[in-house]
Structure 1
Amino acid sequence: MGLPLDAAVGRERAPGSVRVFVVDSHELVREGLRDFLEGEGLEVVGECWSAAEASRRIVEAGADVVVLDGPLPDGTGIEVCRYVRSVDSDLQCLMMTSYVDDEVLRSVVLAGAAGYVLRQVRGHHLARAIRRAATGESLLGTEVVERARAWFVNATADPGFGSLTGAEREVLARIGKGLSDRQISEALGLAETRVRGLVSTLLVKLGFGGGSGPAVGRPTDALP
């Protein structure tokens, strides 16, 4: 899936411009976001509906920020975010959601995203969030990130997650430390494709993938 980790990222553009890629399973949502963002002076460099296509095209497009739905027909926004940020750590992601609770916040931290945007957010707040993310600013409070990461670390020793394998627990513990898939691959001496497979399995077992648990950004929600 996607590009090799040493893929070149082209970002030659006018000073101050922000390039945005939109990933959502609904065409009308993508079109609505494109029209709005371009009206706000942001450059939309691409859009798509699937995890596989997103993983291939986002880095090729030289995007600065990805506005990303959670559930996708062939995967999750979490997996896409973790993958593209392993290829290009300067690329930032914002997850779309219709509500916020601890599980949603864990999803955002698990993805390695800069933050989240509510689907009902006012337009100028969305544009401002994208511009803030493009500078590398985290839109999540330190306490939120630390609490979510502590949850991942504690889950590795929780008997309630007894179905986790040893390798999955190793990966989860490092996710709790904020490592990317590439960093986990290097730390554990595993192929990155293997790490991504373990992450995909973890998402399902922990309730973040495969339709389990509250998804980040449900497809039926209204446009912002």
Structure 2
Amino acid sequence: MRILIADDHGVVREGLKVLIDNQPDMEVVGEAEDGLMVTQLAKELSPDIIIMDISMPNLNGVEATRLILTENPDIRVIALSVHLDKHFVTQMLKAGASGYVLKSCLFDEVLRALRTVNRGEHYLSPKITDVVLDDYIHYMATYNKTAEDHLTTRERQIVQMLAEGKSTKQIASNLHISPKTSDA
């Protein structure tokens, strides 16, 4: 597995390189200290996976991910970030990242993410999974409520009776309306 590391902190890049290069199935093929550099190295080196910091100079990790995946959709990107905020998580996932790992994690989790993403699957740190699920649940609750708000009280009654298996004639009779109205 050929890996490119993009982080503006040298100690992070060096630490990851030493730990990754100790794995028999992994090799760090390059390091980038900013977003522009990682886009260039991605073209030159064609890594399997890029470990991408989000907050980098010259071009942030979100935009760098978009550019890289537009040119080479076969490359996989794992965000490695301090940001737990849903804005950063959703932006990276929308940009096409296959994984999101927090910098506070242990190296074993980075390895798990690399191997999972290399198999073509997605990987999210457990804390990130909570953020994504909470956001999804909130979205669905809002979406469902919005759809429901467009129905009048009478329309809700008709929908309820249809759900109970009543015919349009039965609904019309129960609500004292014409059968044609309940069909609409």
Same fold by TM-score greater than 0.5: yes
Q: Distance in 1 between matches of 2:99 and 2:136?
A: 15
The equivalent of 1:100 in structure 2 is 84
The equivalent of 2:10 in structure 1 is 27
Bigger radius of gyration: 2
The equivalent of 1:59 in structure 2 is 43
**How has the CA–CA distance of structure 1 residues 104 and 52 changed in structure 2, closer, same or farther, with 3 Å as cutoff?**
closer
* 3-state SS of 1:66 partner: strand
After superposition, residues 144-183 of structure 1 pair within 5 angstroms as 144=132, 147=136
Corresponding letter in the other structure for 1:60: E
Size of the alignment, in residue pairs?
133
RMSD: 2.5
Query: Which string of whole-angstrom CA distances, capped at 9 and with x for unpartnered residues, describes residues 170-207 of structure 1?
Result: xxxxxxxxxxxxxxxxxxxxxxxxxxxxxxxxxxxxxx
* 3-state SS of 1:44 partner: strand
Q: Distance in 2 between matches of 1:144 and 1:60?
A: 33
Query: Which string of whole-angstrom CA distances, capped at 9 and with x for unpartnered residues, describes residues 114-148 of structure 1?
Result: 1211112111221121111112212257x949949
* 3-state SS of 1:74 partner: coil
- Contact 1:90 1:136 survives alignment (8 Å): no
Q: Distance in 1 between matches of 2:67 and 2:46?
A: 15
Query: Which string of whole-angstrom CA distances, capped at 9 and with x for unpartnered residues, describes residues 76-127 of structure 1?
Result: 0011111111111111101112242322321222321012111121112211
Which of 40, 50, 70 is matched with 2:34 structurally? 50
Normalised to the residue count of structure 2, the TM-score between the two structures is 0.65
Which of 112, 127, 130 is matched with 1:128 structurally? 112
Q: Distance in 1 between matches of 2:50 and 2:70?
A: 14
Normalised to the residue count of structure 1, the TM-score between the two structures is 0.54
Q: Are residue 73 (structure 1) and residue 57 (structure 2) matched?
A: yes
* 3-state SS of 1:75 partner: coil
The equivalent of 1:40 in structure 2 is 23
Q: Give the deviation of 1:40 after TM superposition.
A: 2.3
- Contact 1:98 1:119 survives alignment (8 Å): yes
Identity of aligned pairs, percent? 27
Corresponding letter in the other structure for 2:64: V
Greater relative contact order (Cα 8 A, min sep 6): structure 1 or 2?
A: 1
Q: Which structure 1 segments of 5+ residues have no match? A: 1-17, 155-224
- Contact 1:40 1:127 survives alignment (8 Å): no
* 3-state SS of 2:17 partner: helix
* 3-state SS of 1:120 partner: coil
Q: Distance in 2 between matches of 1:68 and 1:124?
A: 17
